[in-house]
Structures are given as structure tokens and as C-alpha cells.
Amino acid sequence: MQPKPVETTSDSVRVGILDAAEARFRIYGLNKTTMAEIAHDMDMSASNLYRYFKNKQDIAAACACRCIDTQTDLLRGVVRTPGLSAAEKLERCALEMLRYTWETAHDQPRINELVNHVILEHRDMVHHKVQESCSLLAEVLAQGNESGEFEVADVVKTAETVHAALKMFHVPIFMSLYAHEVLMLRARDVVALLISGLRGRDHEPSQ
Amino acid sequence: MQPKPVETTSDSVRVGILDAAEARFRIYGLNKTTMAEIAHDMDMSASNLYRYFKNKQDIAAACACRCIDTQTDLLRGVVRTPGLSAAEKLERCALEMLRYTWETAHDQPRINELVNHVILEHRDMVHHKVQESCSLLAEVLAQGNESGEFEVADVVKTAETVHAALKMFHVPIFMSLYAHEVLMLRARDVVALLISGLRGRDHEPSQ
DNA sequence: ATACTGAATATTTTATTGAATATTCACTGC
DNA sequence: GCAGTGAATATTCAATAAAATATTCAGTAT
């Protein structure tokens, strides 16, 4: 009477394959990692990998998905931290996200390249990630409304607005264009200006 | 006693070459345009082009520079329009820039690709363009301060902050990720939120 | 000296092909 | 049926040579 083992065996193999693949992708990148190598790490034949994944692209996509989830988890961690004001959470969200994006872009260029590549054929993954981020931001805005810090009419729409204004700090391309310090200061400033706006009485989302 | 003709001849040839090159770049792109073709359009030999430009990359760079200047001119047009409030100018700046970026990305993909390529080896061009944009935004903020619409302590720094928050709408990559309408609405919302913040009394730039 | 050219040379792009890798499939042991 | 394999086939990569193009240069005309 185990609790929901469902497909324990098959699933754990899948996870194992992803772990092995990710480890190699990190070091050698997607193109320089062969199915044979991943299979060898798992003590199986290359052909057997196809029992768990449709093809190599699918393994890459699943890896990218896990990376993106890590980002969302990070945000969730901040948003669900007890004892922080909404304004503090908003700032931490922006700065944590920036830190993570920066570090990934610099310390794990291979994985970053992998994610960028996968995203090209899975636009929906980006939209899903953005939506999750916005949901979390909406939570913060709602908290701000309750505590009286903010006065936001439409938390969902405004979350999207805030997310758009912070886009620059989420996107790897900009990481190589500016120094880390500059980005941190800039992010702080943008958040401060946004918070100032969220307090305002007269902000009306269009339509 | 002409007024400053300086290098009239040589300069007009340079402009002619750039016009010819740009026309071909627009249609065929940088790589599929040869020096021989540009030279033929100008009724000269390919080797003679080198009297006016160091090499092909330089012609491309000069073309990219002209495109970027067009953008800045657009912004300047909005900022120097008489009879608009600072808030109206800010919104028009954002929307005009978005419209231009969108149209360029969609109608002139070759030129866009050219600019992106050139930017890689001339980072300074980006920074210069950003600085010019920020100067113009700073003008608007200063106007807002004078008219009482805004209360901005450091117009230069805040201009950079506003520019960062609007980054998403200036950068071609995002143009293919969202529908034009969505971007327009989102830009409007971001500007509205920023304006609301610029009115606030308590916004302090960090450091 | 300035504006220019055609021929010579250097560099880049393109095409080709053999090798490496991805993917499929018929088959084995449980 | 499920988990797995090795051999066969399809696709992609990488090295190379050939062709196209960029760049230089010696020289002409004004």
C-alpha cells in the first residue's frame, strides 16, 4: 500500500537519464554529447534510451524544462517567505531573478545555450514560465493590497505589467551587455519606481 | 565662398555608396551583397570603394549607424513636439519606439539582421544610442518637473531607470514573441505605471 | 596629388564526401 | 507484455577542395 508509486520504475529511469544527460550537457554542451555516452552512463544501450524519450531533442527539452522550473521555484521561495512586506518581496524577486539569470549566463553557458535552443521550438515553454512568474507576482500584489502598501485594481494584469518592466533583468542577452553591479543597481531603481507607482491612487490599466 | 562644403565631393560619394549598399542589403542581406555589385551600382570598380571605406564591414557599420540614428530622430521628434504634456510625450516615446521596432523587425528583417550583426563588434554603438535615448527621456522628465506633473530628484538617473523598464519594447527579439496588439497594450500599461511612480513623492534612486 | 582601374593575392563561402552519430527495427530473455 | 540489445539505416557533422568574393597593389589618366 505505497502512496501513488504509479510508474516508479520507468519514471526513476527517466529521471536518471535526465540527470546523466544534464551532467554531460553542462560540461560538453548539447551537440558534443552523444546518445551513446548518455546510455553508457546509464549502463544501457543507446537504442534503449528511445524507450524513455522520443529522441535527443526531447531529452534536451526535458532538461530545459527542469532548469526553467528551478527559476520558478526560486521565485516561489521568495514570495512564500513569511515576514516580508510586499515591497520587500517585489525587490527580492527582481534581484534574485537577476542574480540567477546572471550566474547561469556566466557559470553555465552550455546549459544556457541549451535552454535558448530548446525555447526556439517550444515557445509555449516561455509563455508557461512567464505565466507562472506573473501568478507569483500577482500573489505579492494581492498581499500588498491587503496590507495597504499598494492600491492595485487588477492584480493579474498589473503583475504582467510589472513583469514586462523587469524583463531586462530576466533575459540572458542583457547579462553580457552590462556589468553585474550596474544591473543590480538598475534593477533596484526600477523596482523602487514601480513600487512608487503601485502606491499611487490613479493608476488604471488600459481597457 | 560656399558655407562649409569641406569635403563635398568625397562625402556625397560616401553617401551614394551607403545608399546603394543599403538598398541591396535591404533586399539581399549583407552576405548576399558583393562589393562588385555595390560598385557597379555606383559605376565604379570594386577596388575604388576602398578609397571611401576601409572595408565591407565598415560599409555595413555605417549603414547600421544610419538606421540607429533614424530611431533616435524619431524619439527626438516626439520629445520636441510642442504642446504635449510630459506624460503624453513619455507614452508617445514608448509607443513610437515600439511601432518602429516592430515594423523594422517584420518589414525589414535583412536590415535588422545587419544591425544585430554590426552591434556585436560595436558594443559602443548600442551604448551611444541608449545614452542618446536617455538624454531625450531626461528632457521629458525635466519638462515634467517644471510643469509639476512629475517630482523627479535625479532626471538623468531616472531616465535610465525608465529606459530600462521599457527595454522590452525596444528590442527586436521580443517582437516575434508577442502579437503587436499585446505589446502595444503592455507598453501603455508600463508607461502608465511608471508615470504614476514619477508623480510619487518618495521615490529615491539608490546611491 | 586625386580619382580611378584591372590584375594579383588573400580570405570567405560553398559543395562534396567520408565519418560520426541518431534513430529504427527485428530480435532475445524475462 | 516489458526491458533490453546489436545490427541496419538515416541523418548530421567535419574535413577538404573548388569557387566566389574581398582586399591590395602597381599602374594610368587628369
Same domain, B27 and B101: no
B78 vs B3, residue with greater confidence: B78
- Which structural domain range is residue B31 located in? 1-53
Task: Tell me which residue in A123, A165, A199 faces B165 most closely, judged by beta carbons.
Answer: A165
* pLDDT over 50 at A3, yes or no: no
Same domain, B43 and B72: no
Dihedral over Cα of B22, B23, B28, B31: its sign: negative
Same domain, A96 and A167: yes
What is the rounded distance in angstroms from the CA atom of residue A47 to the CA atom of residue B158?
58
Domain count, chain A: 2
Give the CATH number, domain containing residue B85.
Answer: 1.10.357.10
Is the Cβ pair B165, A161 closer than 8 Å? no
SS3 assignment, position B150:
coil
Give the CATH number, domain containing residue A13.
Answer: 1.10.10.60
Same domain, A10 and A70: no
Burial class (CB in 10 A: 0-12, 13-18, 19+), B167: buried
The pLDDT of residue B2 is: 40
Say if A205 is an interface residue toward chain B (CB within 8 Å).
yes
The pLDDT of residue A207 is: 47
Same domain, A118 and A182: yes
Same domain, A90 and A126: yes
* pLDDT over 50 at A203, yes or no: no
The 3 state secondary structure assigned to B86-144 is HHHHHHHHHHHHHHHHHHHHHHCHHHHHHHHHHHHHCHHHHHHHHHHHHHHHHHHHHHH
Same domain, B165 and B69: yes
Q: Which of B12, B27, B53 is the last residue of a domain?
A: B53
Is residue B206 included in any domain, yes or no? Answer: no
* Residue B194: closest CA among B83, B81, B94, B84: B94
Same domain, B109 and B75: yes
* pLDDT over 50 at A153, yes or no: yes
Residue B171 Cα to chain centre, angstroms: 10
Provide the residue type at B175 as one letter: M
Q: Which nucleotides of D are covered by protein (CB under 7 A)?
A: 3-7, 13-14, 20-26
Same domain, B67 and B48: no
Is residue A204 included in any domain, yes or no? Answer: no
Chain A interface test: which of B123, B125, B151, B189 (most A C-beta within 10 Å): B189
Say if B119 is an interface residue toward chain A (CB within 8 Å).
no
Is the Cβ pair A200, B197 closer than 8 Å? yes
Say if B2 is an interface residue toward chain A (CB within 8 Å).
no
A99 Cβ neighbours under 8 A, 6+ residues apart: none
Q: What is the mean pLDDT of chain B?
A: 92
Same domain, B142 and B44: no
Say if B124 is an interface residue toward chain A (CB within 8 Å).
no
> For residues A19, A122, B170 and A160, what is the CA-based torsion angle, rounded to 10 degrees?
-90
Same domain, B176 and B88: yes
Is residue B207 included in any domain, yes or no? Answer: no
* Residue A193: closest CA among B141, B22, B119, B97: B141
What is the rounded distance in angstroms from the CA atom of residue A15 to the CA atom of residue A52?
10
